[in-house]
Structure 1
Protein backbone atom coordinates (compact mmCIF):
# COMPACT_ATOMS: atom_id res chain seq x y z
CA UNK A 1 0.00 0.00 0.00
CA UNK A 2 1.24 3.52 -0.79
CA UNK A 3 1.83 5.80 2.21
CA UNK A 4 2.26 9.51 2.70
CA UNK A 5 5.68 11.07 3.20
CA UNK A 6 6.05 11.87 6.95
CA UNK A 7 7.30 15.39 6.23
CA UNK A 8 5.61 16.46 3.02
CA UNK A 9 2.50 14.28 2.94
CA UNK A 10 3.26 13.30 -0.68
CA UNK A 11 2.27 9.80 -1.79
CA UNK A 12 5.21 7.43 -1.55
CA UNK A 13 5.28 4.06 -3.35
CA UNK A 14 6.96 1.26 -1.36
CA UNK A 15 10.17 0.10 -3.04
CA UNK A 16 10.30 -3.28 -4.69
CA UNK A 17 13.03 -5.72 -3.72
CA UNK A 18 16.50 -4.39 -4.68
CA UNK A 19 17.28 -4.78 -8.33
CA UNK A 20 13.66 -5.63 -9.18
CA UNK A 21 14.17 -9.29 -8.34
CA UNK A 22 12.09 -11.86 -6.47
CA UNK A 23 13.37 -14.37 -3.93
CA UNK A 24 12.00 -17.70 -2.75
CA UNK A 25 13.18 -20.49 -0.47
CA UNK A 26 13.19 -23.83 -2.32
CA UNK A 27 13.28 -27.37 -0.97
CA UNK A 28 14.06 -29.41 -4.09
CA UNK A 29 11.82 -32.42 -4.77
CA UNK A 30 13.28 -35.69 -3.51
CA UNK A 31 11.02 -38.08 -5.44
CA UNK A 32 12.77 -40.06 -8.18
CA UNK A 33 11.85 -39.55 -11.81
CA UNK A 34 11.71 -42.16 -14.58
CA UNK A 35 15.49 -41.94 -15.02
CA UNK A 36 16.16 -42.68 -11.34
CA UNK A 37 17.23 -39.12 -10.46
CA UNK A 38 15.35 -37.14 -7.82
CA UNK A 39 14.56 -33.52 -8.56
CA UNK A 40 12.49 -31.05 -10.49
CA UNK A 41 11.06 -30.39 -13.92
CA UNK A 42 13.43 -29.21 -16.65
CA UNK A 43 12.35 -25.87 -18.08
CA UNK A 44 13.60 -22.51 -19.32
CA UNK A 45 12.61 -18.92 -18.67
CA UNK A 46 11.86 -16.84 -21.74
CA UNK A 47 12.60 -13.37 -20.32
CA UNK A 48 14.22 -13.77 -16.90
CA UNK A 49 17.61 -14.81 -15.63
CA UNK A 50 17.75 -16.97 -12.51
CA UNK A 51 20.25 -17.49 -9.71
CA UNK A 52 20.69 -20.16 -7.03
CA UNK A 53 22.32 -19.63 -3.65
CA UNK A 54 22.73 -23.08 -2.08
CA UNK A 55 21.87 -23.07 1.62
CA UNK A 56 21.81 -26.80 2.40
CA UNK A 57 22.32 -30.33 1.08
CA UNK A 58 23.97 -31.39 -2.15
CA UNK A 59 22.91 -31.85 -5.74
CA UNK A 60 23.37 -30.54 -9.25
CA UNK A 61 21.78 -28.33 -11.83
CA UNK A 62 21.82 -29.86 -15.30
CA UNK A 63 21.70 -27.30 -18.10
CA UNK A 64 21.26 -27.14 -21.85
CA UNK A 65 22.29 -24.07 -23.78
CA UNK A 66 23.86 -23.16 -27.10
CA UNK A 67 27.14 -24.18 -25.43
CA UNK A 68 25.83 -27.73 -25.02
CA UNK A 69 24.91 -29.89 -22.03
CA UNK A 70 26.57 -29.36 -18.65
CA UNK A 71 26.29 -30.49 -15.02
CA UNK A 72 27.02 -27.97 -12.27
CA UNK A 73 27.59 -29.43 -8.75
CA UNK A 74 25.71 -27.71 -5.93
CA UNK A 75 26.76 -27.58 -2.27
CA UNK A 76 26.26 -25.03 0.52
CA UNK A 77 27.78 -21.69 -0.38
CA UNK A 78 27.71 -22.28 -4.15
CA UNK A 79 26.15 -19.59 -6.36
CA UNK A 80 25.08 -20.44 -9.92
CA UNK A 81 23.11 -18.26 -12.28
CA UNK A 82 22.10 -18.36 -15.92
CA UNK A 83 20.47 -16.23 -18.57
CA UNK A 84 17.02 -16.55 -20.19
CA UNK A 85 16.71 -19.47 -22.59
CA UNK A 86 18.87 -21.88 -20.58
CA UNK A 87 17.10 -25.18 -19.91
CA UNK A 88 17.80 -26.21 -16.33
CA UNK A 89 16.94 -29.19 -14.19
CA UNK A 90 17.66 -29.46 -10.48
CA UNK A 91 18.82 -32.85 -9.21
CA UNK A 92 18.61 -33.56 -5.47
CA UNK A 93 21.43 -35.76 -4.12
CA UNK A 94 20.47 -35.16 -0.50
CA UNK A 95 18.31 -32.49 1.18
CA UNK A 96 19.09 -29.85 -1.45
CA UNK A 97 17.80 -26.41 -0.46
CA UNK A 98 18.28 -23.11 -2.25
CA UNK A 99 17.46 -19.45 -2.15
CA UNK A 100 16.25 -18.68 -5.67
CA UNK A 101 16.75 -15.17 -7.05
CA UNK A 102 14.66 -14.36 -10.11
CA UNK A 103 15.12 -11.43 -12.44
CA UNK A 104 12.03 -9.37 -13.37
CA UNK A 105 10.00 -10.00 -10.23
CA UNK A 106 6.51 -11.08 -11.23
CA UNK A 107 7.20 -12.36 -14.73
CA UNK A 108 8.12 -15.93 -13.74
CA UNK A 109 4.83 -16.19 -11.83
CA UNK A 110 3.00 -14.83 -14.87
CA UNK A 111 4.05 -17.70 -17.11
CA UNK A 112 7.61 -16.78 -18.08
CA UNK A 113 8.71 -20.44 -17.76
CA UNK A 114 8.23 -23.11 -20.44
CA UNK A 115 8.62 -26.78 -19.53
CA UNK A 116 10.40 -29.21 -21.84
CA UNK A 117 7.28 -31.17 -22.74
CA UNK A 118 7.29 -33.37 -25.87
CA UNK A 119 6.93 -31.54 -29.16
CA UNK A 120 3.27 -32.41 -29.70
CA UNK A 121 2.40 -30.77 -26.36
CA UNK A 122 4.51 -27.68 -27.04
CA UNK A 123 2.77 -27.23 -30.38
CA UNK A 124 -0.71 -27.20 -28.80
CA UNK A 125 -1.34 -24.29 -26.42
CA UNK A 126 -4.37 -25.95 -24.83
CA UNK A 127 -2.55 -29.24 -24.31
CA UNK A 128 0.41 -27.38 -22.83
CA UNK A 129 -1.80 -25.44 -20.41
CA UNK A 130 -3.52 -28.63 -19.27
CA UNK A 131 -0.22 -30.44 -18.74
CA UNK A 132 1.43 -27.53 -16.91
CA UNK A 133 -1.37 -26.62 -14.49
CA UNK A 134 -1.73 -27.99 -10.98
CA UNK A 135 -4.96 -28.37 -8.98
CA UNK A 136 -5.49 -26.07 -6.02
CA UNK A 137 -6.70 -26.88 -2.53
CA UNK A 138 -5.74 -30.55 -2.23
CA UNK A 139 -2.06 -31.11 -1.42
CA UNK A 140 -2.10 -34.81 -2.34
CA UNK A 141 -3.65 -34.14 -5.74
CA UNK A 142 -1.21 -31.28 -6.35
CA UNK A 143 1.76 -33.48 -5.42
CA UNK A 144 0.63 -36.21 -7.84
CA UNK A 145 0.06 -33.67 -10.60
CA UNK A 146 3.49 -32.12 -9.97
CA UNK A 147 5.13 -35.54 -10.39
CA UNK A 148 3.20 -36.21 -13.60
CA UNK A 149 4.20 -32.79 -14.91
CA UNK A 150 7.84 -33.46 -13.99
CA UNK A 151 7.82 -36.87 -15.69
CA UNK A 152 6.26 -35.46 -18.88
CA UNK A 153 8.88 -32.70 -18.92
CA UNK A 154 11.60 -35.32 -18.49
CA UNK A 155 10.20 -37.25 -21.45
CA UNK A 156 10.47 -34.14 -23.61
CA UNK A 157 13.87 -33.31 -22.10
CA UNK A 158 15.18 -36.68 -23.25
CA UNK A 159 13.81 -36.05 -26.72
CA UNK A 160 15.40 -32.60 -26.80
CA UNK A 161 18.80 -33.92 -25.73
CA UNK A 162 18.62 -36.61 -28.43
CA UNK A 163 17.64 -34.02 -31.05
CA UNK A 164 20.57 -31.81 -30.06
CA UNK A 165 22.95 -34.79 -30.35
CA UNK A 166 21.55 -35.60 -33.80
CA UNK A 167 21.05 -32.13 -35.26
CA UNK A 168 23.17 -29.82 -33.17
CA UNK A 169 22.34 -26.25 -32.09
CA UNK A 170 19.44 -25.93 -34.54
CA UNK A 171 17.42 -28.40 -32.48
CA UNK A 172 17.90 -26.20 -29.43
CA UNK A 173 16.97 -23.05 -31.34
CA UNK A 174 13.83 -24.84 -32.57
CA UNK A 175 12.78 -25.56 -28.98
CA UNK A 176 13.32 -21.91 -28.07
CA UNK A 177 11.13 -20.81 -30.99
CA UNK A 178 8.35 -23.08 -29.76
CA UNK A 179 8.72 -21.58 -26.29
CA UNK A 180 8.49 -18.06 -27.70
CA UNK A 181 5.31 -18.90 -29.59
CA UNK A 182 3.74 -20.34 -26.44
CA UNK A 183 4.30 -17.23 -24.32
CA UNK A 184 3.57 -14.65 -27.02
CA UNK A 185 -0.08 -14.07 -25.93
CA UNK A 186 1.13 -13.06 -22.44
CA UNK A 187 3.81 -10.61 -23.49
CA UNK A 188 1.64 -7.46 -23.57
CA UNK A 189 0.74 -8.07 -19.92
CA UNK A 190 4.39 -8.70 -19.04
CA UNK A 191 5.39 -5.42 -20.66
CA UNK A 192 2.93 -3.56 -18.43
CA UNK A 193 4.24 -5.34 -15.32
CA UNK A 194 7.85 -4.62 -16.26
CA UNK A 195 7.20 -0.94 -16.96
CA UNK A 196 5.65 -0.29 -13.55
CA UNK A 197 8.25 -2.30 -11.61
CA UNK A 198 11.72 -2.97 -13.01
CA UNK A 199 11.68 -0.13 -15.56
CA UNK A 200 10.35 2.29 -12.95
CA UNK A 201 13.13 1.29 -10.54
CA UNK A 202 15.73 1.78 -13.28
CA UNK A 203 14.35 5.24 -14.02
CA UNK A 204 14.42 6.13 -10.33
CA UNK A 205 18.08 5.12 -10.15
CA UNK A 206 18.87 7.23 -13.22
CA UNK A 207 17.16 10.23 -11.64
CA UNK A 208 18.91 9.59 -8.32
CA UNK A 209 22.33 9.59 -9.97
CA UNK A 210 21.44 12.89 -11.62
CA UNK A 211 20.44 14.32 -8.22
CA UNK A 212 23.66 13.11 -6.59
CA UNK A 213 25.71 14.59 -9.42
CA UNK A 214 24.22 17.96 -8.45
CA UNK A 215 24.89 17.39 -4.75
CA UNK A 216 21.24 16.77 -3.78
CA UNK A 217 20.05 13.81 -1.63
CA UNK A 218 17.17 12.97 -3.98
CA UNK A 219 15.55 9.65 -3.09
CA UNK A 220 17.34 9.49 0.24
CA UNK A 221 14.60 11.77 1.55
CA UNK A 222 12.19 8.85 1.07
CA UNK A 223 14.34 6.32 2.96
CA UNK A 224 12.19 3.49 4.28
CA UNK A 225 12.21 -0.15 5.34
CA UNK A 226 9.73 -2.73 4.02
CA UNK A 227 9.01 -6.12 5.51
CA UNK A 228 7.51 -8.72 3.17
CA UNK A 229 4.85 -11.06 4.54
CA UNK A 230 5.23 -14.81 3.89
CA UNK A 231 2.44 -16.28 1.81
CA UNK A 232 0.36 -18.21 4.36
CA UNK A 233 -0.21 -21.93 4.25
CA UNK A 234 2.02 -24.82 3.20
CA UNK A 235 4.79 -24.40 0.69
CA UNK A 236 3.40 -24.37 -2.83
CA UNK A 237 4.40 -26.90 -5.48
CA UNK A 238 6.82 -25.29 -7.91
CA UNK A 239 8.55 -26.71 -10.96
CA UNK A 240 11.64 -27.71 -8.99
CA UNK A 241 10.37 -28.23 -5.45
CA UNK A 242 8.32 -26.86 -2.57
CA UNK A 243 8.47 -23.07 -2.43
CA UNK A 244 8.19 -20.54 0.33
CA UNK A 245 7.35 -17.19 -1.21
CA UNK A 246 6.56 -13.73 0.14
CA UNK A 247 3.97 -11.11 -0.64
CA UNK A 248 5.65 -7.96 -1.86
CA UNK A 249 4.09 -4.50 -1.62
CA UNK A 250 2.14 -3.57 -4.73
CA UNK A 251 3.45 -0.74 -6.86
Structure 2
Protein backbone atom coordinates (compact mmCIF):
# COMPACT_ATOMS: atom_id res chain seq x y z
CA UNK A 1 0.00 0.00 0.00
CA UNK A 2 1.43 3.38 -1.00
CA UNK A 3 0.39 6.97 -0.61
CA UNK A 4 -1.13 8.60 2.47
CA UNK A 5 -3.78 6.48 4.27
CA UNK A 6 -7.04 6.26 2.39
CA UNK A 7 -5.63 8.05 -0.64
CA UNK A 8 -6.36 11.34 1.12
CA UNK A 9 -4.49 14.65 1.11
CA UNK A 10 -3.73 16.78 4.19
CA UNK A 11 -2.97 20.49 4.33
CA UNK A 12 -2.65 23.19 6.97
CA UNK A 13 -4.70 26.33 6.29
CA UNK A 14 -4.34 29.73 7.92
CA UNK A 15 -7.60 31.33 6.85
CA UNK A 16 -7.38 34.73 5.18
CA UNK A 17 -8.20 37.71 7.40
CA UNK A 18 -9.04 39.92 4.43
CA UNK A 19 -12.44 41.63 4.88
CA UNK A 20 -15.16 41.29 2.25
CA UNK A 21 -18.02 43.48 1.06
CA UNK A 22 -20.38 42.03 3.70
CA UNK A 23 -17.94 42.82 6.51
CA UNK A 24 -16.74 39.27 7.13
CA UNK A 25 -13.13 38.18 6.66
CA UNK A 26 -12.24 34.89 5.04
CA UNK A 27 -11.69 32.81 1.95
CA UNK A 28 -13.12 32.12 -1.48
CA UNK A 29 -16.47 30.29 -1.63
CA UNK A 30 -16.28 27.21 -3.84
CA UNK A 31 -17.45 23.63 -4.21
CA UNK A 32 -15.76 20.35 -5.08
CA UNK A 33 -17.21 18.24 -7.85
CA UNK A 34 -15.76 14.81 -6.99
CA UNK A 35 -14.29 14.91 -3.48
CA UNK A 36 -15.47 15.17 0.12
CA UNK A 37 -13.58 17.66 2.29
CA UNK A 38 -13.10 17.58 6.07
CA UNK A 39 -12.03 20.24 8.57
CA UNK A 40 -10.24 19.76 11.89
CA UNK A 41 -9.96 23.15 13.59
CA UNK A 42 -6.67 23.60 15.45
CA UNK A 43 -6.87 27.25 16.53
CA UNK A 44 -8.92 30.43 16.50
CA UNK A 45 -12.65 30.82 15.96
CA UNK A 46 -14.77 31.28 12.90
CA UNK A 47 -17.56 29.77 10.87
CA UNK A 48 -18.20 28.01 7.60
CA UNK A 49 -21.23 29.06 5.58
CA UNK A 50 -22.60 26.34 3.30
CA UNK A 51 -25.08 26.11 0.45
CA UNK A 52 -26.23 22.58 -0.29
CA UNK A 53 -29.29 20.38 -0.54
CA UNK A 54 -30.03 21.61 2.98
CA UNK A 55 -30.15 25.21 1.79
CA UNK A 56 -28.11 27.88 3.55
CA UNK A 57 -26.46 26.95 6.86
CA UNK A 58 -23.79 28.46 9.11
CA UNK A 59 -21.60 26.24 11.28
CA UNK A 60 -19.48 27.59 14.14
CA UNK A 61 -15.79 26.66 14.19
CA UNK A 62 -13.53 26.47 17.25
CA UNK A 63 -10.55 24.38 18.28
CA UNK A 64 -11.56 20.71 18.16
CA UNK A 65 -14.43 21.15 15.71
CA UNK A 66 -14.54 18.39 13.09
CA UNK A 67 -16.93 18.55 10.16
CA UNK A 68 -17.00 17.52 6.52
CA UNK A 69 -19.10 18.08 3.44
CA UNK A 70 -19.80 16.16 0.28
CA UNK A 71 -19.30 17.16 -3.39
CA UNK A 72 -21.51 20.02 -4.52
CA UNK A 73 -21.55 21.78 -1.13
CA UNK A 74 -20.56 25.42 -1.51
CA UNK A 75 -18.44 26.39 1.49
CA UNK A 76 -17.17 29.77 2.61
CA UNK A 77 -14.73 30.03 5.52
CA UNK A 78 -15.19 33.04 7.82
CA UNK A 79 -12.31 34.10 10.08
CA UNK A 80 -13.80 35.69 13.21
CA UNK A 81 -10.79 35.77 15.54
CA UNK A 82 -8.20 36.68 12.92
CA UNK A 83 -6.17 33.53 13.62
CA UNK A 84 -8.41 30.70 12.42
CA UNK A 85 -6.35 27.63 11.48
CA UNK A 86 -7.47 24.25 10.15
CA UNK A 87 -6.14 20.90 9.15
CA UNK A 88 -7.95 20.03 5.93
CA UNK A 89 -8.37 16.37 5.00
CA UNK A 90 -9.30 16.01 1.35
CA UNK A 91 -10.58 12.87 -0.33
CA UNK A 92 -8.88 11.68 -3.52
CA UNK A 93 -5.39 13.17 -3.27
CA UNK A 94 -4.42 14.68 -6.60
CA UNK A 95 -7.93 15.21 -7.94
CA UNK A 96 -8.61 18.53 -6.14
CA UNK A 97 -5.20 19.77 -7.30
CA UNK A 98 -6.21 18.78 -10.87
CA UNK A 99 -9.18 21.14 -10.94
CA UNK A 100 -11.89 19.50 -8.81
CA UNK A 101 -12.90 22.84 -7.25
CA UNK A 102 -15.28 25.34 -8.88
CA UNK A 103 -15.52 28.90 -7.57
CA UNK A 104 -18.83 30.68 -7.10
CA UNK A 105 -18.02 33.38 -9.63
CA UNK A 106 -20.90 35.46 -11.03
CA UNK A 107 -23.10 33.73 -13.62
CA UNK A 108 -21.53 35.37 -16.73
CA UNK A 109 -18.06 34.14 -15.69
CA UNK A 110 -19.30 30.62 -14.91
CA UNK A 111 -20.98 30.47 -18.32
CA UNK A 112 -17.74 31.36 -20.17
CA UNK A 113 -15.07 28.64 -19.76
CA UNK A 114 -12.25 30.92 -20.95
CA UNK A 115 -13.24 33.76 -18.61
CA UNK A 116 -13.62 31.26 -15.78
CA UNK A 117 -10.17 29.77 -16.41
CA UNK A 118 -8.54 33.22 -16.42
CA UNK A 119 -10.16 34.22 -13.14
CA UNK A 120 -9.57 30.89 -11.39
CA UNK A 121 -5.91 30.54 -12.37
CA UNK A 122 -4.80 34.16 -11.97
CA UNK A 123 -2.69 33.62 -8.78
CA UNK A 124 -0.72 30.85 -10.51
CA UNK A 125 0.62 33.02 -13.35
CA UNK A 126 4.35 32.17 -13.59
CA UNK A 127 5.63 35.75 -13.84
CA UNK A 128 4.13 36.95 -10.53
CA UNK A 129 6.10 37.77 -7.39
CA UNK A 130 4.77 36.31 -4.15
CA UNK A 131 3.02 39.50 -3.03
CA UNK A 132 1.42 39.76 -6.47
CA UNK A 133 0.09 36.22 -6.09
CA UNK A 134 -1.48 37.32 -2.82
CA UNK A 135 -3.14 40.27 -4.54
CA UNK A 136 -4.42 38.00 -7.31
CA UNK A 137 -5.76 35.53 -4.74
CA UNK A 138 -7.61 38.35 -3.01
CA UNK A 139 -9.09 39.60 -6.29
CA UNK A 140 -10.21 36.03 -7.08
CA UNK A 141 -11.74 35.75 -3.61
CA UNK A 142 -13.67 38.99 -4.07
CA UNK A 143 -15.08 37.80 -7.40
CA UNK A 144 -16.18 34.52 -5.82
CA UNK A 145 -17.81 36.44 -2.96
CA UNK A 146 -19.81 38.54 -5.44
CA UNK A 147 -21.26 35.42 -7.03
CA UNK A 148 -21.72 33.69 -3.69
CA UNK A 149 -23.72 36.49 -2.07
CA UNK A 150 -26.11 36.59 -5.03
CA UNK A 151 -26.48 32.80 -4.94
CA UNK A 152 -27.02 32.76 -1.17
CA UNK A 153 -29.81 35.29 -1.55
CA UNK A 154 -31.50 33.10 -4.16
CA UNK A 155 -31.13 29.97 -2.03
CA UNK A 156 -32.63 31.74 0.99
CA UNK A 157 -35.62 32.92 -1.04
CA UNK A 158 -36.13 29.96 -3.41
CA UNK A 159 -34.67 27.02 -1.48
CA UNK A 160 -32.06 24.45 -2.58
CA UNK A 161 -33.48 24.31 -6.11
CA UNK A 162 -31.60 27.57 -6.75
CA UNK A 163 -28.35 25.56 -6.62
CA UNK A 164 -29.13 23.61 -9.80
CA UNK A 165 -27.74 26.22 -12.18
CA UNK A 166 -24.37 26.30 -10.38
CA UNK A 167 -24.17 22.51 -10.23
CA UNK A 168 -24.87 22.23 -13.97
CA UNK A 169 -22.24 24.84 -14.84
CA UNK A 170 -19.71 23.20 -12.52
CA UNK A 171 -20.19 19.81 -14.19
CA UNK A 172 -19.76 21.42 -17.60
CA UNK A 173 -16.55 23.19 -16.54
CA UNK A 174 -14.85 19.99 -15.29
CA UNK A 175 -16.22 17.39 -17.70
CA UNK A 176 -13.05 17.30 -19.84
CA UNK A 177 -10.85 16.51 -16.83
CA UNK A 178 -12.39 13.22 -15.74
CA UNK A 179 -10.02 10.93 -17.66
CA UNK A 180 -7.10 12.38 -15.67
CA UNK A 181 -9.07 12.16 -12.44
CA UNK A 182 -9.97 8.52 -13.08
CA UNK A 183 -6.30 7.60 -13.37
CA UNK A 184 -5.50 9.42 -10.12
CA UNK A 185 -8.37 7.65 -8.37
CA UNK A 186 -7.34 4.23 -9.72
CA UNK A 187 -3.71 4.69 -8.62
CA UNK A 188 -4.64 6.13 -5.20
CA UNK A 189 -7.89 5.51 -3.26
CA UNK A 190 -9.06 2.54 -5.33
CA UNK A 191 -5.65 0.87 -5.25
CA UNK A 192 -5.53 1.22 -1.46
CA UNK A 193 -9.03 -0.21 -1.03
CA UNK A 194 -8.18 -3.13 -3.31
CA UNK A 195 -4.94 -3.73 -1.37
CA UNK A 196 -6.89 -3.90 1.90
CA UNK A 197 -9.14 -6.55 0.37
CA UNK A 198 -6.06 -8.56 -0.66
CA UNK A 199 -4.62 -8.22 2.85
CA UNK A 200 -7.82 -9.49 4.42
CA UNK A 201 -7.84 -12.47 2.07
CA UNK A 202 -4.24 -13.22 3.03
CA UNK A 203 -4.85 -12.87 6.76
CA UNK A 204 -7.82 -15.23 6.55
CA UNK A 205 -5.27 -17.82 5.42
CA UNK A 206 -2.77 -16.78 8.15
CA UNK A 207 -0.51 -15.48 5.35
CA UNK A 208 1.73 -12.66 6.64
CA UNK A 209 3.56 -11.97 3.38
CA UNK A 210 2.40 -8.35 3.10
CA UNK A 211 3.62 -7.64 6.64
CA UNK A 212 7.16 -8.29 5.45
CA UNK A 213 6.94 -5.03 3.50
CA UNK A 214 6.43 -2.97 6.69
CA UNK A 215 8.10 0.44 6.39
CA UNK A 216 7.82 4.13 7.28
CA UNK A 217 7.30 6.81 4.63
CA UNK A 218 7.77 10.58 4.81
CA UNK A 219 6.05 13.32 2.83
CA UNK A 220 9.20 15.39 2.57
CA UNK A 221 9.30 19.16 2.42
CA UNK A 222 6.24 21.37 2.83
CA UNK A 223 5.10 23.68 0.02
CA UNK A 224 3.57 27.05 0.90
CA UNK A 225 0.91 28.50 -1.41
CA UNK A 226 -1.80 31.11 -1.75
CA UNK A 227 -4.88 28.90 -1.57
CA UNK A 228 -8.59 29.37 -2.04
CA UNK A 229 -9.39 29.79 1.65
CA UNK A 230 -6.06 30.91 3.10
CA UNK A 231 -2.31 30.40 3.16
CA UNK A 232 -1.64 26.73 2.59
CA UNK A 233 1.05 24.35 3.75
CA UNK A 234 0.83 21.22 1.62
CA UNK A 235 2.65 18.00 0.85
CA UNK A 236 2.58 15.70 -2.15
CA UNK A 237 1.07 12.57 -0.61
CA UNK A 238 0.22 10.69 -3.79
CA UNK A 239 1.80 7.31 -4.55
TM-score range, shorter-chain basis?
over 0.9
Q: Which residue does the alignment assign to 1:239?
A: 228
Counterparts of 2:165 and 2:158 in 1: how far apart (Å)? 11
Write out per-residue CA displacement over residues 101-138 of structure 1, whole angstroms, 9 at most, x where no aligned residue: 00001111000000000111111110000011113441
TM-score, normalised by the number of residues in structure 2: 0.94
- Offset at residue 26 of structure 1 (A): 0.5
Q: Which residue does the alignment assign to 2:182?
A: 191
Q: How many matched pairs? A: 235
Unpaired runs of at least 5, structure 2: none
Q: Contact 2:9 / 2:91 at 8 angstroms: preserved in 1?
A: yes
Match of 1:160 among 142, 151, 154: 151
State whether structure 2 residue 76 is matched by structure 1 residue 89: yes
Q: Which residue does the alignment assign to 1:105?
A: 93
Unpaired runs of at least 5, structure 1: 1-13
Q: Is the radius of gyration larger for structure 1 or structure 2?
A: 1
TM-score, normalised by the number of residues in structure 1: 0.90
Write out per-residue CA displacement over residues 53-101 of structure 1, whole angstroms, 9 at most, x where no aligned residue: 1111111111111111111111111111111111000000120001000
Q: Which residue does the alignment assign to 1:124?
A: 112
Counterparts of 1:241 and 1:178 in 2: how far apart (Å)? 25
Deviating runs (4+, > 6 A) in structure 1?
none
CA RMSD of aligned residues (A): 1.3
Q: Which residue does the alignment assign to 2:172?
A: 181
Write out per-residue CA displacement over residues 229-251 of structure 1, whole angstroms, 9 at most, x where no aligned residue: 1235xx21000000001133x53
Write out per-residue CA displacement over residues 179-217 of structure 1, whole angstroms, 9 at most, x where no aligned residue: 011000111110011111111111101111111111112
Counterparts of 1:59 and 1:162 in 2: how far apart (Å)? 21
Instruction: Tell which has more relative contact order, 1 or 2 (C-alpha 8 A, sep 6+).
Output: 2
SS for the counterpart of 2:163 is helix
Match of 2:210 among 190, 206, 219: 219
Q: Contact 1:212 / 1:218 at 8 angstroms: preserved in 2?
A: no
State whether structure 2 residue 170 is matched by structure 1 residue 170: no
